[in-house]
Structures are given as structure tokens and as C-alpha cells.
Structure 1
Amino acid sequence: MLLFSVGFLEINFVDVLDILLVSVLLFHLYKLIKGSVALKIFVGGLSIYLTYLVVKATDMELLSEILSQFIDVGVIAAIILFQQEIRKFLLIIGKSTDFKNFPLFQLFRGKGKDYEINLDIPSIIDAMKDMSGTNTGALIVISKDSDLQFYAETGDFVDAKISKRLLLSIFFKNSPMHDGACLIYNNRIQAARCILPISENPNIPATMGLRHRAGIGMTENTNAIVLIVSEETGQMSYIQGGVIDHNLSSIELRTKIRAYMQDGQEENNTTTTQKSAV
């Protein structure tokens, strides 16, 4: 259906829809790689492609052939160079497509199943309160959707039931497993001393140490949440989707964990002392 024409150009409804979809895609792509080295690489690759289009339109055969070779290899190179960004983009799509809310999925899954029964929240909170009181650093990853096998393999497998005493022993300062993260899945401590991906977000304050950067990086790459006890201040923090909530009380922390386990939505009455979006 023809909407309007500009000179020899005829614009129809499909053209407008095409432009809008491309604009949305480029906008989200820019948000994904903004502030990273990937943005400069993307701009460089885009410049080469635009140059190739101009050269091809002007019938410069030799230069066009050379640039075409760069573009042919560039598709594979882009997948290698942007593998982290592609992973994040696919994760965003996966998060936005929540099949658990589909009626058909709920029919097979069992409507009204409460995720909280699959996690011993009191034991986790009690352990974090004790570690907060003694300024014992801790990094705990909780996942409700995936067993995080890839990250578990970087540490030591534990496969034990969650308990306050076990968590305290793992993060005890003289324990061989206190460095790294503790992974929790299906109400069990899956592994300890695990290595997490470090966030490359340039907006993270310089005051944040490696523990907090690893927690942010983990939530940027997965749908898990991360709980942190600061070794310097003893403050408890909660991280989800790259957003960190500092200096939480045990009640606030419990509310956030329960909301994540139930439906991933934070309750409106939850307040935090400080919130930093990074």
C-alpha cells in the first residue's frame, strides 16, 4: 500500500515498518555495546561496509573486490569478536520471552507452583548476617532456571544441602574455598571457589572491587542473582540484571530473593538504602 512518494522514491507501509524495525535493532545494539571497545570495532566495520557500497556504486572494480574480501571474512570475525555481546543480546531476548507465563506452559508445569519451596532462604540470610557482622567477604550466586554447569566447572563441586554452617565454613577467611563464588541451584550448593566473568561496564564506580565486578558480570551474562558481603564494610548487596543494591538489611534481602524465586518481579514496598544502576 503506497503511503507517499518523494521524487522517484515510493514509500509504502512495508518500507516504514522495515525502517522502524531496523531503528529499534540498531538502538538496542548501541545500548548493548555502548562504552565498550566493541563499539569502536562496530563503527570501524560499518565504515568499511559503507565504503564498499560507495565503491561498488561507482564501479571501482579493483577496490570493490578487495573490500568484498574483507566483508566476506568480516562475518566470521564479527561472531568471534562480538561473542560476549551476541550472548548478552540473546539473553535479553530470552528474558523478554518468558514461556512460564504462557497458559499452555502453566498447564504442563502445574499452575501456581511456588519457587520459594526450592530454596532455603533463611539459612542463606542467617549466614550472610553472620558474615556481615565479622566483615567476612562472600560471593553467592543463586539460579532458578539453570544449573550454571559451565561456571561450576571452574571451581570445586560440592553438591550439598544448603546450611548456614556450610556457607560459613566455605567463606571462612582461612578456608581454601573462600576465594571465588559459591553457586546455588535447586536448593543445593552446587560448587564453590568458582570463577565468574568480570563486567567490562565502564560506568561501574572505581570504588567497587573485584568481588562486586564479578557479581555484576555474572548477572549480565546469566539470569541468576548474586548476593555479596563486602569484606571492607560488611555491607550486604543484591545484584540482578547488572543492577546492584547496596547496604541492604536482612529483611530487604529476603524480600528480593523471594521475589526473584517466585516471579522475578521485585515487590513495590521494597526499599533500599542506596541503589546504583551500572
Structure 2
Amino acid sequence: MLVFRLGFLDVGWLDLLDILLVTVLIYQIYNLVRGSVASRVFIGYLLVYLAYLVVKALGLNLMTTILEYFISVGALALIIIFQQEIRRFLLLIGKSTNVANSRWIRRWLMRQPNDGESQTQLKPIIDACKTLGSEFSGGLIVVQKNDDLEKFALSGEIINADLSKPLLLAIFSQYSPLHDGAVLISNGRIRAARCILPVSDDDELPPALGFRHRAALGMSEATDAAVIAVSEESGRMSLALNGELYTNLVLSELETRLESYLREPKLLNHLQ
């Protein structure tokens, strides 16, 4: 193995690879916590760890022992402080390594849904969003894809009714007791209304985006559902997919993105 000598250090290719991987990992972690209070905690802990490496290399045994205890206790504290960031990191890994992302597995295990399968009709949803936007009524609509959303349905009022534009408009009417919260659409039916969704803690969201948009993004981070948010103030439409929020969409773009996402192939064992 080729080895480079830097002063009193022998550096090989594996050492360079190790340094590169650690650099990428630290950079990705910093991106997750950037802009939050947790970022300053992360930088402070990193500086303490670098100080530990220096005093250990210099042979300062007493300082090394003190910093070792601090780091061991600090590791547990970091888990508590960064629990939201760790959750986002694991969700990111889970989605990036999802079996559905594999071209070969998709080829053998996945298929396009046939005409006999239950599909969500998008026209009533799109028409309802158009009316909600023009009337500045506001709305939050969750459309199921693969993940089970029953626990979110149980947080609201179970309806289990046929999907239609008039029913969606009636639910989001300001005089309806069900207009707060989200409507959950599953297998072409309105499963529940007034549902409570997880709220995203993404600090990079513009301050102008309110609770509906944070709930839409949070739901898309936790599940593979498509979530539509119609602003009550501006009437503009947004779509959250896989932790990404697409804002200020025109009606045709909303329909195209929604249809393309929901019509992707589904795993056989999810459908049968």
C-alpha cells in the first residue's frame, strides 16, 4: 500500500478515504442543523472534541481524562438535544435507500396499476383547490400513496365518504366544524377530516408560510403522501412531496406534479 510521510505521520490511501468520509459526514450533519440553535451546540461540541484530540496527542493525561468524561456525557446530551435532527437524518437515509428507488427491484417487483385497481380521481381535488384558492378559503388535503395513514385519520373525524368537489368545499367552508385541520383521502375516498398532522421544524421555510404549509411539509417528511396546502391569505397553492415544498403553483402545474407522483409504480406487496 502506498504511504505518504507528512512529518512524523504516515498517511495511506485508506487514511485519506477515512478523512474524506468523515468530512462528508460532518458537512451533512451541519446542513441538517444549520440555522438553528442546535448548530451552535454542534460547533461547540466539535471544538471540544478537537481540543481533546490535541491534548491527547500532546500527552496531557489529566486534561485528556477530563475531556473524555465530558465527551462521554456529552454524547448522551447530544442525542437529547438533536432528537429532531436525528429523526430527519434517519428519514433522509430511509428514503434515499428505499427499495422503490432501485431500478432493478422496480423492474422485477413493481408494476403500473391496472384499470381494475382503486385509484384516487384527481379532478375533484384539483377543482376543489381551484375554488378554495379563488375564494381564499384555505385548505389542507392529504392524498395517500403507499404508507398507511390510519393513525392520522384517527386523530380527526372519520367520514369514509365518496370523493367529490362539493363535499371538499363543504368541509373547508368557514362555517363547517370540520374546516380546521387536514382532509385525508385514501383509495379514492375521503377517509377523515379535521386530522392533525406533524409539523415540520425546518428553519429554512420563509416566515410568510404559515401553519398549513409547515403541516404539509411535516406530513411529507414523515410519510410518502402528497399534501396540498391552499393559502387562506393569498389563495396560492403549494404541494409537499417527500420533504420538498413546491410553492406558488398554477393549477396545471399542481395537477401535473400530483398525477406524476401518485401514478408512479407501486410495490406488489404493498398493493396485494
Tell me which interval the TM-score lies in, with the shorter structure as reference length: 0.7 to 0.9
Q: Which residue of 1 aligns with 2:171?
A: 170
CA contact (8 A) 2:124 2:164 kept: yes
* Matched residue SS, 2:184: strand
Aligned-residue CA RMSD (Å): 2.8
Q: Which residue of 2 aligns with 1:272?
A: none
Q: Counterparts of 1:82 and 1:3 in 2: how far apart (Å)? A: 38
CA contact (8 A) 1:52 1:67 kept: yes
Q: Is 1:209 matched up with 2:189?
A: no
Q: Which residue of 2 aligns with 1:99?
A: 99
Q: Counterparts of 1:67 and 1:191 in 2: how far apart (Å)? A: 53
1:75 deviates by 2.8
Q: Counterparts of 2:155 and 2:55 in 1: how far apart (Å)? A: 49
1:247 deviates by 4.1
Structure 2 counterparts to residues 81-100 of structure 1, below 5 A? 81-100=81-100
Q: Which residue of 1 aligns with 2:141?
A: 140
Q: Counterparts of 1:67 and 1:260 in 2: how far apart (Å)? A: 50
Q: Which residue of 1 aligns with 2:27?
A: 27
Q: Which residue of 2 aligns with 1:126?
A: 127
Structure 2 counterparts to residues 234-249 of structure 1, below 5 A? 234-240=235-241, 241-249=243-251
What does the per-residue CA deviation read over 1:138-180, in whole Å, with 9 as the maximum and x for residues that have no partner? 0112231212345444333334443223322221212122111
Q: Is 1:67 matched up with 2:67?
A: yes
Cα 1:223–1:81 change in 2 (3 A) is farther
Q: Which residue of 1 aligns with 2:269?
A: none
CA contact (8 A) 1:35 1:201 kept: no
Unaligned runs of 5+ in 1: 265-278
1:205 deviates by 2.5
Cα 1:83–1:184 change in 2 (3 A) is farther
1:231 deviates by 1.4
Question: In structure 2, what residue type is equivalent to 1:24?
Answer: V
Cα 1:257–1:5 change in 2 (3 A) is same
Q: Counterparts of 1:78 and 1:139 in 2: how far apart (Å)? A: 35
Question: In structure 2, what residue type is equivalent to 1:246?
Answer: N
1:198 deviates by 3.2
CA contact (8 A) 2:118 2:187 kept: no
Q: Could you state the TM-score of these two structures normalised by the residue count of structure 2?
A: 0.82
What does the per-residue CA deviation read over 1:96-141, in whole Å, with 9 as the maximum and x for residues that have no partner? 22422443454344x3336996222112112212222322110112
Q: Counterparts of 2:61 and 2:259 in 1: how far apart (Å)? A: 63
Cα 1:169–1:83 change in 2 (3 A) is same
Mean Cα deviation higher: 203-212 or 24-33: 203-212
Structure with the larger RCO, 1 or 2 (CA within 8 Å, 6+ apart): 2
What does the per-residue CA deviation read over 1:252-272, in whole Å, with 9 as the maximum and x for residues that have no partner? 2111101111339xxxxxxxx
CA contact (8 A) 2:184 2:190 kept: yes
* Matched residue SS, 1:73: helix
Q: Counterparts of 1:244 and 1:31 in 2: how far apart (Å)? A: 20
Q: Counterparts of 2:222 and 2:37 in 1: how far apart (Å)? A: 17
Percent of matched pairs sharing the same residue: 47
Q: Counterparts of 2:121 and 2:67 in 1: how far apart (Å)? A: 58
Q: Which residue of 1 aligns with 2:76?
A: 76
* Matched residue SS, 1:192: strand
Unaligned runs of 5+ in 2: 266-272
Q: Could you state the TM-score of these two structures normalised by the residue count of structure 1?
A: 0.81
Q: Counterparts of 1:114 and 1:253 in 2: how far apart (Å)? A: 24
1:55 deviates by 4.1
Q: Counterparts of 1:158 and 1:77 in 2: how far apart (Å)? A: 44
Q: Counterparts of 1:38 and 1:223 in 2: how far apart (Å)? A: 27
Cα 1:70–1:8 change in 2 (3 A) is closer
CA contact (8 A) 1:2 1:10 kept: no
